[in-house]
């Protein structure tokens, strides 16, 4: 059996194991165990020459070489947080939750490895299914409402992506080309695809996968879903799922630019990027629910990714680096926000204040994470956002660069007000017996350490990976 197949099957095996385990106490440890085995396999797959599997449907290329290790590391760290989190939630059975987390990992892996138009769509659809029980973990009316919106909007997005995939397939048929749906073949024949169908396909795929990514104006599921999901799930959605959807979108950007339609694609990307940042800025101002605030922050960062790719050149490099920084920094924010939520039994600033006194370590990490997420030095996102800015200036789009800077500032101010209200002052709200414990803060420290490291020094291996991926995406014929 090849490594690529094993990477998908191992998490599924662990999911089945978790489902079969009877002990509520020991089951959560299967999640990090599965994550660890997965990471070991990823190291193997990324390093060595890894042959494609299933007739080329599964393959590893420059993009997956960058994204797959990121997802695996993020998952493992979040998984290490799971046992401690589930111990403070003994009232909720965790069988479905643990199995769902591992299933989610398997499906995310499948998305990054798929090299077939249809298979990738199937994987994203399965991803929607796998994440629904995770969102509904709390089993109350509010989480049900969030799950319903998530499923309904996600299902429509995925349906439009299917229509877009059909359009893309038809663009080959209408031009009298072969019927291969492998990405390598599509990129090769891109210059000959029927233009009209290709345009339609790109717009539909952009709307469809953009919905999964949470780009404005298709972002409406995000505040509800991230607001009601446990912090752990928020971290995996904002760092993992959105990254997968972005990867899917990049595959079509690559096809469009190989077809000589770079301008068409980048105009769409830049517009959606700026709109996402602006909407996030508006809704973040005076946002009292700090988990919803994080959702809008995720909308903003998806906008930054789209903007970077749309600018192209150095912007593409910056955006791909930002994928890494965003995933790790979002992990810090969601996990520490989850701790604060547990400590106060509430997630609005009406009832939460003085977190620095009640859960000092979590609150300090939350504050540091805020500076990182908003692009302050010396953290990783500063470097990637600065690179995107340089890309915009180098390509001569001064207007875009100015708007980008202004929107970053608006978000910083809006988000800062809420974050400061949470951490400062006298502790209010109801008391709970939740305290900082090694199990709930060490994983956040690990993520924070990585975010800080990437701000100070980018390892040459990572630099090479990002460079290869950027060259791969931008490759024009």
Partner 1 sequence: VEALIDSVLVGVVLLNFMLLATSRLSALINVSALQGAVLGVLTVIVHGGLDARPLLLGAVAAGIKGFLIPGMLHRALRDAAIRREVEPLVGYVTSLLLGALATAGALAFAKSLPLAPEHAGSLLVPGSLATVMTGFLLLTTRRKAVTQVVGYLVLENGIFIMGLTLHAAMPLLVELGVLLDLLVGIFVIGIVINHIHREFSSLDVTRLDALRE
CB of 138 to partner 1, least distance (A): 12
Residue 169 binding partner 1, by CB under 8 A: yes
CB of 60 to partner 1, least distance (A): 22
DSSP 28: G
Please give the Cα distance from 437 to 90 (Å, whole number): 16
Please give the Cα distance from 446 to 451 (Å, whole number): 9
Contacts of residue 278, defined as CB under 8 A and 6 or more positions apart, other chains included, come to 216, 407
CB count, 10 Å around CB of 135?
26
Which of 43-51, 132-140, 248-256, 332-340 is the region at the interface with partner 1 (rule: CB under 8 A)? 132-140
CB of 189 to partner 1, least distance (A): 14
Residue 148 binding partner 1, by CB under 8 A: yes
Q: Judged by CB, which is closer to partner 1: 160, or 392? A: 160
The mark string for 65-104 relative to partner 1 (x by CB under 8 A, - otherwise) is: ----------------------------------------
Question: Binding to partner 1 (CB under 8 A): which residues in 226-265?
Answer: 227-228
CB of 165 to partner 1, least distance (A): 7
Establish whether the linkage from the previous residue to 217 is cis, with ω within 30° of 0: yes
Residue 285 binding partner 1, by CB under 8 A: no
Residue 156 binding partner 1, by CB under 8 A: yes
Residue 55 binding partner 1, by CB under 8 A: no
Please give the Cα distance from 302 to 293 (Å, whole number): 14
Strand stretches in 255-349, DSSP E = none
Torsion sign over Cα 157, 161, 164, 166: negative
Q: How far apart are the first and last CA of the chain?
A: 35
Nearest to 315 by CA among 269, 264, 255: 269
Q: From the centroid of its chain, how far is CA 171? A: 30
**C-alpha R_g of the chain:** 21
Number of residues that bind partner 1 (CB under 8 A): 45
Which of 31-39, 147-155, 359-367, 393-401 is the region at the interface with partner 1 (rule: CB under 8 A)? 147-155
Burial 292-309 (b: 16+ CB within 10 A, else e): bbbbbbbbbbbbbbbbbb
Tokens at 150, concatenated: 């998530």
Residue 13 binding partner 1, by CB under 8 A: no
Residue 200 binding partner 1, by CB under 8 A: yes
Residue 147 binding partner 1, by CB under 8 A: yes
CB of 119 to partner 1, least distance (A): 8
Residue 279 binding partner 1, by CB under 8 A: no
The mark string for 204-223 relative to partner 1 (x by CB under 8 A, - otherwise) is: -------------------x
CB of 76 to partner 1, least distance (A): 28
Residue 351 binding partner 1, by CB under 8 A: no
Contacts of residue 101, defined as CB under 8 A and 6 or more positions apart, other chains included, come to 31, 79, 82, 134, 236
CB of 433 to partner 1, least distance (A): 27
Q: Out of 158, 259, 299, 355, name the contact with partner 1 by CB under 8 A.
A: 158
CB of 37 to partner 1, least distance (A): 28
Q: Judged by CB, which is closer to partner 1: 174, or 442? A: 174
Residue 115 binding partner 1, by CB under 8 A: no
What 3-state DSSP class applies to 38? Answer: helix
Residue 472 binding partner 1, by CB under 8 A: no
Contacts of residue 351, defined as CB under 8 A and 6 or more positions apart, other chains included, come to 344, 428, 429, 430
Please give the Cα distance from 71 to 109 (Å, whole number): 8
CB of 179 to partner 1, least distance (A): 5
Which of 105-113, 170-178, 306-314, 410-418 is the region at the interface with partner 1 (rule: CB under 8 A)? 170-178
Tokens at 235, concatenated: 């971290």
Torsion sign over Cα 183, 184, 185, 188: positive
> Which residues bind to partner 1, rule: CB under 8 A?
117-118, 121-122, 125, 128-129, 132, 136, 140-142, 144-149, 151-152, 155-156, 158-159, 162-163, 165-167, 169-170, 173-174, 176, 179, 181, 194, 196-197, 200, 223-224, 227-228, 283
């Amino acid at each position: 059996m090849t490594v690529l197949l094993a990477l998908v099957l191992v998490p599924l095996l662990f999911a089945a194991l978790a489902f079969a385990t009877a002990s509520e106490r020991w089951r959560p440890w299967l999640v990090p165990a599965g994550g660890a085995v997965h990471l070991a396999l990823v190291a193997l797959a990324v390093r060595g020459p890894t042959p494609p599997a299933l007739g080329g449907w599964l393959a590893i290329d420059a993009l997956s070489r960058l994204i797959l290790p990121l997802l695996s590391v993020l998952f493992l760290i979040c998984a290490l947080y799971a046992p401690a989190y589930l111990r403070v939630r003994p009232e909720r059975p965790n069988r479905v939750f643990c199995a769902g987390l591992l299933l989610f990992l398997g499906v995310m892996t499948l998305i990054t490895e798929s090299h077939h138009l249809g298979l990738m769509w199937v994987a994203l659809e399965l991803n929607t299914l796998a994440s629904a029980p995770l969102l509904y973990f709390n089993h109350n009316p509010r989480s049900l409402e969030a799950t319903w919106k998530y499923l309904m909007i996600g299902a429509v997005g995925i349906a439009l992506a299917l229509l877009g995939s059909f359009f893309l397939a038809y663009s080959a048929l209408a031009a009298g080309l072969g019927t291969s749906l492998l990405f390598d073949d599509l990129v090769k024949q891109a210059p000959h695809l029927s233009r009209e169908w290709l345009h339609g396909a790109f717009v539909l795929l952009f709307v469809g996968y953009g919905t999964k990514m949470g780009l404005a104006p298709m972002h409406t599921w995000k505040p509800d879903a991230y607001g009601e999901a446990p912090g752990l799930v928020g971290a995996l959605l904002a760092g993992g799922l959105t990254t997968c959807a972005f990867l899917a979108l990049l595959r079509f950007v690559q096809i469009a630019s190989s077809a000589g339609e770079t301008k068409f694609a980048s105009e769409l990307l830049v517009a959606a990027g700026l709109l996402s940042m602006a909407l996030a800025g508006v809704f973040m101002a005076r946002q009292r629910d700090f988990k919803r605030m994080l959702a809008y922050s995720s909308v903003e960062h998806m906008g930054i990714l789209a903007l970077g790719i749309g600018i192209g050149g150095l912007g593409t490099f910056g955006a791909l680096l930002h994928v890494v920084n965003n995933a790790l920094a979002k992990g810090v924010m969601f996990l520490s926000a989850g701790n604060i939520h547990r400590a106060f039994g509430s997630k609005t600033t009406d009832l939460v204040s003085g977190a620095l006194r009640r859960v000092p370590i979590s609150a300090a990490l939350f504050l540091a994470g805020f500076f990182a997420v908003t692009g302050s030095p010396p953290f990783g996102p500063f470097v990637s956002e600065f690179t995107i800015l340089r890309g915009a200036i180098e390509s001569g789009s001064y207007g875009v660069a100015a708007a980008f800077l202004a929107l970053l500032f608006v978000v910083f101010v809006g988000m800062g007000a809420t974050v400061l209200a949470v951490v400062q002052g006298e502790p209010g709200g109801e008391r709970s017996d939740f305290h900082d414990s090694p199990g709930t803060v060490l994983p956040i420290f690990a993520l924070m350490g990585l975010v800080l490291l990437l701000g100070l020094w980018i390892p040459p291996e990572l630099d090479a990976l990002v460079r290869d991926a950027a060259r791969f995406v931008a490759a024009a014929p």
